Amino acid sequence: MDLGIKGKRGLVCAASKGLGRGCAEALAEAGVNLVINSRTEADITRTAQEIAAEYGVDVTPVAADITTDEGRSKVLAAVGEADILVSNAGGPPPGQWTDWNRDDFIKAIDSNMLSAIALMQALVPGMMQRGWGRVVNITSQSVRSPIPVLGLSNTARAGLTGFVAGMSRQVASQGVCVNNILPGIHATDRADGLDRGVAQQQGISMEEARKQREAGIPANTYGTAEDFGATCAFLCSQHARFIIGQNILLDGGAFNATM
């Protein structure tokens, strides 16, 4: 399917690997020129070179922490105007509900709520002026179904979801579609880290921990960054112009509900 976005300009954050990279690759395949970001210079530079070589689009790497004002300024200076924004950042650490103090909550909210809002505030006005834009925020299945050990994530991402629910409807008439994708378990380093935690806690191997977590997914497998990227690229396509303020759950059926 032609996504109709060849030649558009996109920013994908936290994209040297994992879900962010999956989104960057799918957008590059559709002909989108990209600025991609993550903190480790060598990794983001290598990823940019690989994507540019594979898909023949311009890919500019920016090494910066997207959760800080300084990092976002650096990224936004490299982007200028963008037609497409994919917001993403690392997830907060696990723990018990009694573990976290105010500083921990502020850090999680900065990372997984306010940084996405600041990026939208910087880039969406230009999209509205030009009459076309697409935003995808990478959140989590924890927005629909809380993951008890990820209380910081449950909290911060719920805040972003509430903001997007209202804001997406304020910008839609100007041709800007803002949506969230909620990843269930996908095979990335982040998922490996969570498997490792389960393995250590229960004294089992990583493979057993993964099998155990896969058993809770009707599709009986983890998703991949490629699956995830394809959905992101579709939401950024011309075909998605009537999809506004939605929370698209990619979890292999793990959330058990009729609707």
Largest CA distance in the chain: 56
- The amino acid present at 231, given as its one-letter code, is T
Q: Does the protein bind ligand NAP through residue 65 (CB under 6 A)?
A: yes
Tell me how far, at minimum, the Cβ of 137 lies from ligand NAP, in Å. 10
Q: Which stretch, 33-41, 96-104, 161-169, 208-216, contacts ligand NAP (CB under 6 A)?
A: 33-41
Tokens (6 digits) for 73: 């300024």
Sequence-distant (6+) residues with CB within 8 A of 205 are 199
Q: Does the protein bind ligand NAP through residue 19 (CB under 6 A)?
A: yes
Q: Does the protein bind ligand NAP through residue 37 (CB under 6 A)?
A: yes
Q: Which stretch, 63-71, 102-110, 116-124, 163-171, contacts ligand NAP (CB under 6 A)?
A: 63-71
User: For every residue of 213-254, which 3-state class applies, written as one string?
Assistant: HHHCCCCCCCECHHHHHHHHHHHCCHHHCCCCCCEEEECCCC
What gap in Å lies between CA 13 and CA 66, rounded to an integer? 7
- In the complex with ligand NAP, which residue's Cβ is closer, 142 or 168? 142
Tell me how far, at minimum, the Cβ of 138 lies from ligand NAP, in Å. 5
Q: Does the protein bind ligand NAP through residue 49 (CB under 6 A)?
A: no
Q: Which stretch, 50-58, 64-72, 79-87, 235-243, contacts ligand NAP (CB under 6 A)?
A: 64-72
Question: Which value, in Å, is the radius of gyration of the alpha carbons in the chain?
Answer: 18
Please pick, from the candidates 12, 51, 67, 235, the single residue that binds ligand NAP as defined by CB under 6 A: 67
- In the complex with ligand NAP, which residue's Cβ is closer, 48 or 178? 48
Please pick, from the candidates 3, 10, 12, 18, the single residue that binds ligand NAP as defined by CB under 6 A: 18
- Residue 10's alpha-carbon distances to 127, 142, 212, 226, 230, in angstroms, are 11, 27, 37, 18, 15
Q: What's phi and psi for 205, nearest 5 deg?
A: -80, 165
**Touching ligand NAP, residues 69-88 (CB under 6 A):** 88
**Touching ligand NAP, residues 179-218 (CB under 6 A):** 183, 185-186, 188-191
Please pick, from the candidates 5, 8, 20, 28, the single residue that binds ligand NAP as defined by CB under 6 A: 20
What gap in Å lies between CA 226 and CA 228, rounded to an integer? 5
Place of tokens 């998703």: 223
Which residues contact ligand NAP (rule: CB under 6 A)? 14-20, 37-40, 43, 65-67, 88-91, 138, 140-141, 183, 185-186, 188-191
